[in-house]
Structure 1
Amino acid sequence: MHLPTRARLIRLPATLALLSLLPGLAAQPAAPVAQRPAARPAPVPPVVSPELHSDGRVTFRLRAPKATVVTVSGQFQKGPAAMVKDDTGLWSVTVGPIPSDLYEYSFNVDGVSMIDPGNPAIKPMRNPRTSILEIRGEPPLLHDFQNVPHGRVSLHWYASQALGRRRPLQVYTPPGYEANATTRYPTQYLFHGSGDNEATWVAHGHAHWILDNLVAQGRAQPMIVVMLDGHAVAPGASTDRNANVVAFERDLLQDVMPFVAANYRTREDATSRGIVGLSMGGGQSLTIGLKHPDRFAWVGGMSSSVGGAAELLGDGTALNRQLKLLWFACGKDDFLLKANQDLAATMTARKIRHEYVETEGNHSWPVWRRYLADFAPRVFQATK
């Protein structure tokens, strides 16, 4: 009798055996194996810059692993200081000791100037490029925050009809302005230099604290201070400085002064108005003040770009009668020194009553803060 061939038994792995029983599942792709997430890189510690030391020295730092040459420049030293890179790509240098004051500084990285990214204090400018180093005095300096009554700084936007666009301005009101609801105050117009803006006198000049401290010491009259943008010609529209002065004058007289009078309790006679500025703003204040002594009885300039101010002097008879004070100052190392000396000589020759002061220093904010501290106590005072 012929017997059938015996079937072969094949043992399959359990998984394959299951798939063979469920053909619908066999067509599905296998699920990917879960992967462990990649380890996160260790956090980079924040860069501390600038770091002030108790002996007056200051350490500056910048993380720039791919840079080849890094320096720091500031008003506290002559020339740039070379920084050194460690094995983590952190550049640093310690300079000083530096006298207490408020300074501008910047880094230069392979030929590119930049602010300090570790420092939130940046000088307000049209094109910001410098950081602020503040070294408080002990005892406090006049521009330092002190434990005295403080005024208020308000930011406004106004529609300039003269210029056809909206513009910003900042207004300081003295301590007690809100409480003394019926008191009217004199007004000081305070202008910045080329490249800066309406915020620079507060953020970097500390004009509000200078006024607070002077008033608390009984050295200055409580006053309203108006700070507006000195760049009246739109960027790129003109490089003619005279065109900017003309546009700025229109904006000031036609728009800013009426705005201030409508929103603040000002006294509206000429003896209750002052006008002063630095560098470009000094040229604006002298030019406008000398043209309009019927509006401004207190006129000043700091390291002024005097331009055509001498052409506005006349014989001085009217100016001597109308102006309470004509004051301007310049540092002995300032590049505008000769122009200011010539203006003072012209005033003397024409018998125009004025005060011209030469001081130590160059064309920089440490000088201009001192000038504001000299000028502010002189305005709105009784005169002989």
Structure 2
Amino acid sequence: MKKYIVVALLCLTGLVQAQEALFSGQQVSSPQVNDDKTVTFRLSAPQADTVQVTGDFLPSVKVDTPMGKVDGPGKALLTKNEEGVWSFTTSVLAPELYSYAFIVDGFKTTDPANPFLIRDVASVTNIFIVSGKQADLYRVQDVPHGTVASRWYDAKTLGFDRKISIYTPPGYESSTAEYPVLYLLHGAGGDEEAWLSLGRTAQIMDNLIAQGKAEPMIVVMPNGNVGQDAAPGAGSDGYYTPQFMTPETMNGKYEAQFKDIISFVESNYRIKADKAHRAIAGLSMGGYHSLHISRYYPNTFDYVGLFSAAIMAREDKSGAGVYDNFEETLETQKDNGYQLYWIAIGKTDFLYEANEEYRAMLDKMDMPYEYTESEGGHIWRNWRVYLSEFVPLLFED
């Protein structure tokens, strides 16, 4: 009998210790957005020698990537109190959605006190919002909400089914109206989830529509990686480490198969299926795709948005001549007419020079476009702004 009592006490002691371990980290508040719009980060790590926070709220630094040197998040040291809790308080932050992570003795990790996470390629970071101004578009507000559906379509040109994300505006299900469509394309390393999780597309659309600043529209967010059927973990390949540049990236096959996407959308949704009610836009690789899709199908879209776009074509492996006659097809697109050709880029973006050269070519052709330039580089902070500025320009009567 005594043996069973000892075992029970040991089990109870282990359970108490496990509960203490489980809940001790939860008692630290992090991040704490203060009334003065500073933010305090905390981490309980009594045994650590150094703790840093890294995030896009800090001054950026140049980092080496497959795209060359780009803006990356800076770092700041936390200080440790006698209870072993490390902390750091920022200066006043502008309203924005920010991402961050901790670095503990050189090991990068997420904040155990913050359950809100996003994935960008293979990096997982925590997020928080400092409210006000532009950032209020990224928050869920007390307004009518649209619906986000994850669908599969038959990519006949590629020979397999693929996943696609589709936003329908508030009231779509209860109405009989037909809607215009924005095809919104992600960058390298992204997938059909990127514009929703990193770009806050559903929140931006809900809020702009509620404010009367945007026409109710359907937003179609395909997967731009022709070798994938879906985002990592969401398709037939199961769980694997996401790659920045997937096989067959930007080789013409995505542009060649894009009519399969349009056909699926126009067969399954109440669409105003004409050029005047179609828009296409994308960031980086998605800007590249938007540029080449819109000129390859030169009488299909009345609105084109290039956000920090890659420009010049790579080797064409589509078999369809997608990248042939670059300037001639742009001339055809110009002659067919369109409502808006919109180019946006940050002043320190590594693609800035390529965009300057492209605009010089358009100027020489007398091809009309609108141009906006922002601070910063190749970052989601810019692309969320570009989306929120581009959408109100669409489908105006």
Report the TM-score, using the length of structure 2 for normalisation. Answer: 0.79
Partner AA of 1:249 in structure 2: E
- Tell me which residue corresponds to 2:70: none
- For residue 195 of structure 2, the aligned residue among 165, 185, 201 is 201
- Tell me which residue corresponds to 2:334: 320
- Tell me which residue corresponds to 1:98: 93
Change (3 A) 1:58 1:216: same
Within 2, Cα distance between the matches of 1:239 and 1:102? 26
Larger RCO (CA under 8 A, 6+ residues apart): 2
Within 2, Cα distance between the matches of 1:33 and 1:117? 37
Partner AA of 2:43 in structure 1: L
Within 1, Cα distance between the matches of 2:43 and 2:302? 49
- For residue 43 of structure 1, the aligned residue among 20, 23, 28 is 20
Q: How big is the shift at 1:118? A: 2.6
Change (3 A) 1:361 1:33: closer
Within 2, Cα distance between the matches of 1:173 and 1:380? 16
- For residue 34 of structure 2, the aligned residue among 39, 53, 58 is 53
Within 1, Cα distance between the matches of 2:340 and 2:324? 17
- Deviation by residue 1:14-50 (Cα, 9 ceiling, x = unmatched): xxxxxxxxxxxxxxxx985842613333714214321
Q: Is the 8 A contact 1:315 1:351 kept in 2?
A: no
Within 2, Cα distance between the matches of 1:91 and 1:244? 45
Q: Is the 8 A contact 1:316 1:351 kept in 2?
A: no
SS of aligned partner of 2:137: coil
- Tell me which residue corresponds to 1:305: 310
- For residue 119 of structure 1, the aligned residue among 95, 114, 118 is 114
- Deviation by residue 1:231-265 (Cα, 9 ceiling, x = unmatched): 223489995787445232244322x2222122211
- Tell me which residue corresponds to 1:11: none
Change (3 A) 1:117 1:233: farther
1:177 has 2:172 as partner: yes
Structure 1 or 2: more strand by fraction: 2
Q: How big is the shift at 1:99? A: 1.4
SS of aligned partner of 1:195: coil
- Within a 5 Å distance, the mapping from 1:226-241 to structure 2 comes to 226-234=220-228, 239=245
Q: Is the 8 A contact 2:225 2:248 kept in 1?
A: no
- Deviation by residue 1:188-210 (Cα, 9 ceiling, x = unmatched): 00112222332232223222222
Q: How big is the shift at 1:311? A: 6.3
Q: How many percent of aligned residue pairs carry the same amino acid?
A: 37
Within 1, Cα distance between the matches of 2:58 and 2:244? 35
- Deviation by residue 1:174-219 (Cα, 9 ceiling, x = unmatched): 12212222x1111100112222332232223222222222223332
| Higher mean C-alpha deviation, range 35-44 or range 211-220 | 35-44
- Tell me which residue corresponds to 2:299: 294
- For residue 187 of structure 1, the aligned residue among 170, 181, 188 is 181
Change (3 A) 1:340 1:31: closer
Unaligned runs of 5+ in 2: 60-73, 229-240, 314-322
Unaligned runs of 5+ in 1: 1-29
- Tell me which residue corresponds to 1:14: none
Partner AA of 1:321 in structure 2: D
Within 2, Cα distance between the matches of 1:315 and 1:119? 50
Within 1, Cα distance between the matches of 2:207 and 2:5? 68
RMSD: 2.9
SS of aligned partner of 2:86: strand
- Tell me which residue corresponds to 1:68: 49
| Higher mean C-alpha deviation, range 158-167 or range 218-227 | 158-167
Partner AA of 2:20 in structure 1: P
Within 2, Cα distance between the matches of 1:236 and 1:207? 22
Change (3 A) 1:187 1:245: farther
Q: Is the 8 A contact 2:278 2:303 kept in 1?
A: yes
- Tell me which residue corresponds to 2:234: none
- For residue 257 of structure 1, the aligned residue among 240, 256, 262 is 262
SS of aligned partner of 2:280: strand
Report the TM-score, using the length of structure 1 for normalisation. Answer: 0.81
Change (3 A) 1:141 1:354: same
| Higher mean C-alpha deviation, range 361-370 or range 80-89 | 80-89
- Tell me which residue corresponds to 1:269: 274
SS of aligned partner of 1:366: helix
Within 1, Cα distance between the matches of 2:324 and 2:106? 41
Within 2, Cα distance between the matches of 1:229 and 1:56? 36
Q: Is the 8 A contact 1:185 1:267 kept in 2?
A: yes
Partner AA of 1:106 in structure 2: A
